[in-house]
Amino acid sequence: MPEPGQEKVKPRTLAVLDLGSGTFRLALYGLVPGRAYRLLDELREPVALGEGLASGRIREEALERGVQALRAFADFLRVLAPEEAVTLATSAIRDAENGHLVLEEARRLGLSPRVVPGEEEAALGVLAVANALPLAEAVVVDQGGGSAQVSLMRERRFGWGKALPLGALRLTEALLPSDPPRKGEVRALEEAVEKALKGLPLEAGLPVVGLGGNLRALAKLHQKRRGYPLDLLHGYHLPREGVEELAEDLLSLPLRARMELPGLQADRARTLPATALFFRALLRRLRALGLWVSGLGIREGVLFSRLLPPPHLLPDPRAFAVENLFLRYPFPHPHRDRVKALAQALFQGTRPLHGYGEEEERLLLEAAHLHDIGMHLGYHDHHRHGAYLVLAEPLLGLSHREQALLALLVRYHRRGNPEAGSLRPLLTRGDGKRLKRLAVLLRLAEMLERTRSGRVRGVRVEVGAGVRLRLEAEADPWVERVEAVKQGELFREAFGKPLEVVWEGDRG
């Protein structure tokens, strides 16, 4: 249901088929143009279409795998019948002499494939990154099976981009024939990457963002080594030393051993050494300390081109992500808005005690916006359910630290002693106190709306030897006062002062 004053927009479905050199993917999205989207389903087929690409032609076995995948995707789309289906053909089909055979089969099956030029592929990747990560400028690198798109993003816009023949499958076939690769082969690959990058106007000092399934596989291996507490790859920072270590380890293992690495899809084991070497060379060339992993790529670039009018940029990706999550698990808007207003009044009134600024205020209001989303899974433990939902998927524009804090605030909005627990490694100095203070403010706002009736119209905060909350209400909001008073001990722990809650009608 749209909020009051918002025009109702008809939801629609969009399918995006990405006929990549290593993997064919189909993503099915539900979207409300200009407002929201969600991933509804996804198919993945590791076709290795780029086999033989080093010789200029796709091998017959690879063509057959591609045809079988196309048939499965076409059948899937016939049943689901999305309003729009976009089929993109990338490097292998673009570069191979016989790539037209894949296009002909796709057309015979009722699909409408389009060969995407390298620069457009790069631009779609940049568009996804611009809407997904809190970066205005970056070197964006999307390595697929056949090519790697290297681009410059300036002020969240596509500056320039070039497709290079440095895809993981192409590099493996051409330069890493041995199992495991030999030192001479490794040197040859590094020289090829260095030569290709040397001709680009790359700028050292900019953040580096990496896209692609193989890079995500590298990041997952690094997370497992660290015991990383979040099962999220988007927004993960992969340090250069991590890439260096992974490259050395992967080069020491034969294919069979790589296939048994925990969490690694078997079809990526063959080409992963080439990806590690490619990104190692890239980071050395740029003198970068690491790179940010994007879980969004060209498919999401297409999605944003349908979701938003030109230039297809979310004005505030973070605000969009919070609202997008709320729309999936909504609870009554009046209650949400009253809790937000009370939380903001409490934050501003206690500013002399905490000294926090816009960052903390925004986090508190986001938690208030989402605090009851767990009610969709049931009333009991809905605070835990809500925290789970906040962490279930990446939230665009938020760092992992910010997403962890947001989940913890939702988790402790009604009961419990706020603690970071397993998420502690994601937090920074002062976040323990920050969590407790913001959590008690959110909990007080929730308690002052305990009957969900809006009886407490506002609150004034008086700070002295203690803190007095003076409630604005037509009649004594007994339940709200009692529930708020119960938070006095936690308030004292957080702020070092006793708490008093009085009704505006009180004169004592």
**Burial class (CB within 10 angstroms; exposed 0-12, middle 13-18, buried 19+) of 470:** middle
Q: To which H or E segment does residue 154 belong?
A: strand 148-154
Residues of the chain with CATH 3.30.420.150: 119-300
More confident residue, 25 or 267: 25
Smallest CA-to-CA distance from 369 within 417, 431, 321 is with 321
Lookup: tokens for 494: 């957080």
- What pLDDT is stored for residue 123 in this prediction? 97
Contact partners, residue 280, CB within 8 Å, separation at least 6: 190, 240, 243, 244, 247
- What pLDDT is stored for residue 55 in this prediction? 81
Evaluate if residue 474 carries a pLDDT over 70. yes
Q: pLDDT above 90 covers what percent of the chain?
A: 93
The residue count for the chain: 508
Smallest CA-to-CA distance from 115 within 17, 3, 9 is with 17
- What pLDDT is stored for residue 506 in this prediction? 54
3-state SS of 414-466 is CCCCCCCHHHHHHCCCCHHHHHHHHHHHHHHHHHCCCCCCCCCCEEEEEECCC
- The model's pTM is 0.94
Contact partners, residue 213, CB within 8 Å, separation at least 6: 22, 23, 268
What confidence category does residue 508 fall into, taking pLDDT thresholds of 50, 70 and 90? very low
2-6, 327-331, 337-341, 392-396, range with the lowest pLDDT: 2-6
Smallest CA-to-CA distance from 99 within 164, 144, 51 is with 51
256-279 confidence digits (pLDDT tens): 999 999 888 888 999 999 999 999
Looking at domain 317-451, its CATH superfamily turns out to be Hypothetical protein af1432 (1.10.3210.10)
CATH number corresponding to 119-300: 3.30.420.150
340-376 confidence digits (pLDDT tens): 999 999 999 999 999 999 999 999 999 999 999 999 9
More confident residue, 5 or 167: 167
- What pLDDT is stored for residue 7 in this prediction? 57
* Cα angle for residues 12, 302, 206 (degrees, 5° grid): 140
Residues of the chain with CATH 3.30.420.40: 12-116
- Name the pairing type of β-strands 12-19 and 84-89: parallel
Smallest CA-to-CA distance from 55 within 146, 178, 143 is with 146
Buried b (16+ CB within 10 A) or exposed e, 252-270: ebeeeebbebeebbebbbb
- What pLDDT is stored for residue 5 in this prediction? 46
- What pLDDT is stored for residue 370 in this prediction? 98
Q: What gap in Å lies between CA 303 and CA 15, rounded to an integer?
A: 9
What rounded mean pLDDT belongs to the chain?
A: 95
- What pLDDT is stored for residue 192 in this prediction? 97
Evaluate if residue 8 carries a pLDDT over 90. no
Q: What gap in Å lies between CA 486 and CA 499, rounded to an integer?
A: 10
Smallest CA-to-CA distance from 67 within 43, 44, 93, 47 is with 47
Lookup: tokens for 436: 């407790």
Q: pLDDT above 70 covers what percent of the chain?
A: 98
CATH number corresponding to 12-116: 3.30.420.40
Smallest CA-to-CA distance from 442 within 326, 355, 362, 325 is with 362
Long-range CB pairs of 59-66 (<8 Å, 24+ gap) are: 63/98, 63/101, 63/102, 66/19, 66/24, 66/102, 66/105
- What pLDDT is stored for residue 6 in this prediction? 52
Amino acid at 413: H
- What pLDDT is stored for residue 1 in this prediction? 41
Q: To which H or E segment does residue 323 belong?
A: helix 317-328
Task: Calculate the alpha carbon distances from 362 to 270, 319, 357, 366, 401 in Å.
Answer: 45, 10, 9, 6, 14
Evaluate if residue 184 carries a pLDDT over 70. yes
What confidence category does residue 51 fall into, taking pLDDT thresholds of 50, 70 and 90? confident
Q: Can you state the angle between helices 272-286 and 213-226, rounded to 10 degrees?
A: 90
